[in-house]
Amino acid sequence: MKVDHFLQYLIPKDKKFYLLLEKASGNLLTISHSLVEMVNASSPERRKELIKEIEHLEHVGDEISHEIFHELSATFITPFDREDIHALTSALDDVVDYIHGSAKRIELYKINVITNDLVQLASLIEKCADELHKAIHELRNMRNVSKIKEACIRINSIENHADDIFDNSIARLFESETNAIEIIKIKEILSSLETATDKAEDAANILESIIVKSS
């Protein structure tokens, strides 16, 4: 192996990983926008279009994740722990997967009436995605760790709010709905949306771990 090729393995590919993680969080933010637009769509046709867009963005997210994992296997030195890069990438991909799963269930279960609880949870997912995208952009400059910490705190608060909405919506569902099949359908969608906020909190926890290790 030539010396210059050998040195390429030793030089940290900081910009590469930062760009890829920002790409992953940007895709998450885009798919969360599509989710919010989908649950607020005024026509079934528009909703179907957005569900297809969400499915496409889920595939994009998979491709970004695979690219990051490939870089991890090919790079000797990383800007921070490779385990944290892998875990953060997986957590971001999990949020995307649960967004896609929620949208797909709405389509498969033929849900025609989108309740306010579904709309609220979708909005909270979008807020989590926005905070994650901002925080990941700050990884480039660890001198602004306070901004990352603040974003993580807000994500934790949003996740707690999502828990409350989920619990109350399930309680109302059991009180008002008598059709057991409909209960199962709505409960699965609500659970998938709420889990997306859990996964966003997982990503925030990983970001906090990166900060601690870098301090």
Mean pLDDT of 16-43: 96
Angle between helices 14-39 and 44-74 (to 10 degrees): 160
Sign of the alpha-carbon torsion through 151, 153, 158, 159: positive
User: Using 50, 70 and 90 to split pLDDT, how confident is the model at 4?
Assistant: very low
Give pLDDT tens digits for 158-210.
999 999 999 999 999 999 989 999 999 999 999 999 999 999 999 999 999 99
- Domain layout of the chain by residue ranges: 3-214
Whole-number Cα distances in Å, 41 to 18, 76, 208: 34, 47, 36
Mean pLDDT of 117-139: 97
- Level-2 CATH architecture, domain 3-214: Up-down Bundle (1.20)
Give pLDDT tens digits for 87-119.
999 999 999 999 999 999 999 999 988 999 999
Report how far residue 18's alpha carbon sits from residue 195's, in angstroms, rounded to the nearest whole number: 26
User: What is the reported pLDDT for 77?
Assistant: 82
User: What is the reported pLDDT for 50?
Assistant: 97
User: What is the reported pLDDT for 3?
Assistant: 46
Q: pTM to 2 decimals?
A: 0.91
